[in-house]
Amino acid sequence: MKTTIGGYLIQRLQEHGVAHVFGVPGDFVLTFMHQIEDSPLRLITTCDEQGAGFAADAYARLNGLGVVAVTYGVGGLKIANTTGQAYAEKSPVVVISGAPSMDERRRHPLIHHKVRSYDTQFRVFQQLTAAATVLDDADSAASEIDRVLAVARHNSLPVYIELPRDMVDCQIDRPASPAVSAPESDPQTLAAAVDEAVAWINRAQRPVIVFGVELHRFGLQDVVMRFIEESGIPATVTLLDKGAIPERHDGFLGVYAGALGREDVREYVEGSDCLIMLGTLLTDMNLGSYTARLDPARCINATRDRLAVGLHIFERVQLEDFVAGLVAPGVLPRHVDDHPRAPIREDARVTAGTGDDPITIARLFDRLEPFLTDDMVVLADPGDALFASIDLPVQGARAFLAPAFYASLGFAVPAAIGAQCACPDSRPLVLVGDGSFQMTGVELSTCAKYGLDPLVIVLNNGGYTTERLILDGGFNDIQPWDLSKLPALLGAGRSHVVNTVGDLETALEAASVRDGQFFLIEVRLDKSDVSPALVRLGERLQKAATAGMESTSVASAARPPGGRTTG
C-alpha cells in the first residue's frame, strides 16, 4: 500500500500514542504542518519555539512520547536547550525539523536559515539526542522513522528527524509492520542477579526502595508500587521522581534529597543496609548538592543502562526483567512501622497563618497541600519553587513534574501546555519564580489560544533569590512586572495579587472555580524569604563546615543546587 513519508511519520506517531504536536510554523516545515492539520493529530503552536520544546518535554514525560515540529535553523536551534534537558532527564521527545529540499541543497550554497553547512543542525542534534536521521532517501525513510522512534521509546531519550520539504509528499510503500527488536536479558545472568538481590533483601535489617524516574518512563511504576505494598519495604523518591508515589501512602518515607530533604528521611535512608534503587539517576540536584552520603556497597542500583548489586556489576540484564524478578515471590514480606512519614497537619489553615499575616513561602506551601485535588498535575520550575515542593506532600495530585536535574528555568509554564494536552481532564498547577516567569510566562498566550486553564502561582521575590545565596550582585535583580496586567495583554485569564494569608485564601477560592482560562496568582514575598528546605541545606552545610568536612566538597555544595534559580 502507498503512503507518503510525512504520512507514514504521522501514522507511526499515532501508533505510539501521540495525539498532539507542538511547534511554530516556518517555511521549511509548512508542508508537514499542513499534513498534520489534515491528520487526527492536533497541532499546538506556541509563541516561541522554546515554549513548544518544553511543552513537548512535559507531554513526553506524561504520555511516553512527545513531538515538537519546527523549521530549519531558526526553529531547530531554538530548541537545542529544551532537547538537552530532555536528554539529561530521559524524556522521549521527537524533534522533527523541516529542512531545505534536496534540490535546494544541490543547487544553492547559501540559503536562508542555514548556519554553516547543510548538516550543521544535524551535527548539533547528534550531540543532544540518542538517534538522528535525515529523511533524504525514499527507500530508507520508513525504516529510518521506525529506527529512531524505537530508540526514543526504548531508551526514553530524545531523537531527531530532519525532513527536507520536498520529501514530505514523496510516495513510498507502507511497510507491513515495523521491525523493532528490543534487547533481551541473558537468562542465566538475570537469574543470578535476581537471586543475589533477593537473598540480600531478605537478610537486610532495614531495606529501603528508592523509586526512580525510569520506572515512570518505562511503565514500571505500577508493578513496583505492588512490590512496595506486598513486601512491606518502605520507599523514598528523589526530587526527579517526586509524585511517583502518593506521598501519604503508608509505605512512603518522604523525599530523599540529602540535606535539602527532611532530616529524619535523610537519616533513615542513609542508615539503610540495603538501598534498592530502581531506575534512579544519581545527580547533584537529586542528592542535595552532594550532601547525600550513599555507599555503593549498600546499594542495589538498577537502571536501563547498568545493574549493580552491591559491588557486583551484572551485564545484559534489562531493567524490566530485573524488576519482574524482584516482584516475583521470593522477597519475604515484612512489617515496618517505625519509619518516617510526612508530618500530618491537623489544619493547614492554622499552620499557614491567618488573615493579615504576611504571606511566606512556608505558609504558601502549607496551605497548598489541602488545596491539591486528584485532577491536578503539579509543575515546579527550578529554584525555590522546586525546593519548597520537597515538603509539599503530593498526595491527591496525579503527577508532579520538574526538571529537577538539568534545571532549565522557564520550564513550568510551557510545560503546563503539554501536561494539559497529555491529560485533558487534568488541571496543571504551576509553581514558578518571577525570574523564570519573565523567560517563558507569555506562553500563557498559548493557553489563552487553546482554552487551557492552568493555575499559575508566581513566587515574586524581586529576582534570582536562590542565586543571591550563592553570590549576590546587581545581576540578580530583575525589572518588576505588574502581573495583574497580563490577562488584559493576552486577552484571557484572571489574576490575583497575594500579600497576606487572607489574600491567598481569597485567591485560591476564586481559582477553584474553573472557567476555561488561566488563573494567575502573584505571591509577593520578602526578598530574603526562602523555603524550609533551603534553610535546612544552609544549616547542614554550616554544621559540616565547622566539623571540618573536606573543604572542596563544602565549597562545591555551598553553591546551592539549581544553577540559575529564582524563588
For 96, the 3-state DSSP assignment is strand
Distance of CA 221 to the CA centre of its chain: 16
Put the strands of the sheet holding 42-45 in their side by side order.
Answer: 42-45, 20-23, 66-70, 93-99, 159-164, 131-134
Q: Which residues of 127-156 are buried (b: 16+ CB within 10 A; e: fewer)?
A: ebbbbbbbbbeeeebbebbbbbbbbbbbbb
From residue 230 to residue 269, what is the string marking binding to a second copy with x (rule CB under 8 A)?
----------------------------------------
Contacts of 490 (CB under 8 A, 6+ apart): 442, 444, 445, 448
Q: Which of the ranges 243-251, 263-271, 328-336, 408-416 carries the binding residues for a second copy, by CB under 8 A?
A: 408-416
Residue closer to a second copy (CB basis): 30 or 510: 30
CA geometry: angle at 367 spanning 464 and 484, to 5°?
55
- Min dist CB 536 to a second copy, Å, is 19
Q: Does 417 bind a second copy (CB under 8 A)?
A: no
476 binds a second copy (CB under 8 A): yes
Of 175-183, 188-196, 342-350, 400-408, the segment contacting a second copy by CB under 8 A is: 400-408
Separation of alpha carbons 97 and 120, rounded Å:
13
Decide: is 475 part of the binding site for a second copy (CB under 8 A).
yes
Question: Of 485 and 527, which has the nearer Cβ to a second copy?
Answer: 485
Single out the residue of 4, 63, 85, 318 in contact with a second copy (rule: CB under 8 A): 85
Taking the CB of residue 187, how many other CB atoms lie within 10 A of it? 11
- Residue 480 found at the interface with a second copy (CB under 8 A): yes
Q: Which of 7, 73, 383, 433 binds a second copy (CB under 8 A)?
A: 73
If binding is defined by CB under 8 A, does position 135 make contact with a second copy? no
Cβ 487 to a second copy, closest distance in Å? 9
Pick the binder of a second copy from 271, 489, 527, 543 (CB under 8 A).
489
- Alpha-carbon distance values, 512 to 330, 350, 361, 506, 520 (Å): 47, 20, 20, 10, 12
For cell 520507599, name the residue. Answer: 235
Closest to a second copy by CB, 103 or 263: 103
Rg (CA), the chain: 24
Q: Does 13 bind a second copy (CB under 8 A)?
A: no
Other C-beta atoms closer than 10 Å to the C-beta of 230 total 12
Q: Which of 470, 497, 510, 549 binds a second copy (CB under 8 A)?
A: 470
Residue 1 sits in the site that holds a second copy (CB under 8 A): no
Piece in contact with a second copy (CB under 8 A), picked from 168-176, 226-234, 321-329, 407-415: 407-415
Binding positions for a second copy, 23-52, rule CB under 8 A: 23-28, 30-31, 33-34, 37, 43, 45, 47-48, 50
E-assigned strand segments in 111-264: 131-134, 159-164, 171-173, 207-211, 235-237, 252-255
Using CB under 8 A, pick the residue from 22, 72, 227, 400 that binds a second copy. Answer: 72
CB nearer to a second copy: pick between 332 and 555: 555
Query: 419, 452, 410, 464: which is closest to 50 by C-alpha?
Result: 410
Judged by beta carbon, residue 83 or residue 360, the one nearer a second copy is 83
| Residue 112 lies near a second copy (rule: CB under 8 A) | yes
- Contact present, 488 and 513 (Cβ < 8 Å): no
Return the C-alpha cell found at 315.
551485564
DSSP calls for 499-524 = -BHHHHHHHHHHHTS--SS-EEEEEE
Q: Find the binder of a second copy among 3, 19, 111, 370 (CB under 8 A).
A: 111
**Is residue 8 close enough to count as binding a second copy by CB under 8 A?**
no
Nearer to a second copy, 108 or 174 (CB): 108
Residue 407 lies near a second copy (rule: CB under 8 A): yes
Residue 463: beta bridge partners?
A: 477
Question: Which of 303, 440, 460, 465 contacts a second copy by CB under 8 A?
Answer: 440
> With binding defined as CB under 8 A, does residue 283 bind a second copy?
yes
Helix, strand, coil distribution of the chain in percent, nearest 5: 40, 20, 40
